[in-house]
Amino acid sequence: MPRPGAFAANFSPETLNRFRDLCKKQGRPYTKVLERLAELYLETQGQLLDHSAPIPTAPDTKKRQVQVESLQNKLLEDLLKRVEILEQQKVKADYEIERVQRALAFVQLGLQEPKNPNQ
């Protein structure tokens, strides 16, 4: 007598091996993947296999997708701000390096740097 929840299937060996290999590569137990596929089949009333019908998504899935997109947008905005700040700092640093190099060149030549009227 099989245990409760046991499942016996007659897959083609090639299909079963490819399925197991993919699940293993993704780090997922193939029995859990099969169970999730069965759940999706039930949730969609079998439409999961009907390629012409759109697969309805659960409200939680849509909500999670919106949350993920919102988080991604916030992270992208933050990253863009950081890049802008770094670019501004680079421009300032480049200006200061150029100013110091010019002053050093005058010192090495024994000349006095002309005074900038803006300073």
Give pLDDT, residue 88.
93
Q: Are residues 48 and 18 in the same domain?
A: yes
Report percent pLDDT > 70 for the chain.
84
Token couple for 119 = 């300073």
Instruction: Tell me, rounded to whole angstroms, the distance of Cα 93 from its chain centroid.
Output: 32
Q: Cα angle vertex 54, ends 62, 50, to 5°?
A: 135
Q: Are residues 38 and 76 in the same domain?
A: no
Token couple for 36 = 């999730």
Q: What is the extent of the structural domain holding 97?
A: 63-119
Of 50 and 107, which is predicted with more confidence? Answer: 107
**Is 5 inside a domain boundary?**
no
Q: Are residues 15 and 40 in the same domain?
A: yes
pLDDT tens profile 90-107: 999 999 999 999 888 888
**Is 6 inside a domain boundary?**
no
Q: Are residues 68 and 119 in the same domain?
A: yes
69 phi/psi in degrees, rounded to 5: -60, -40
Report percent pLDDT > 90 for the chain.
28
Q: Are residues 72 and 20 in the same domain?
A: no
Q: Are residues 101 and 118 in the same domain?
A: yes
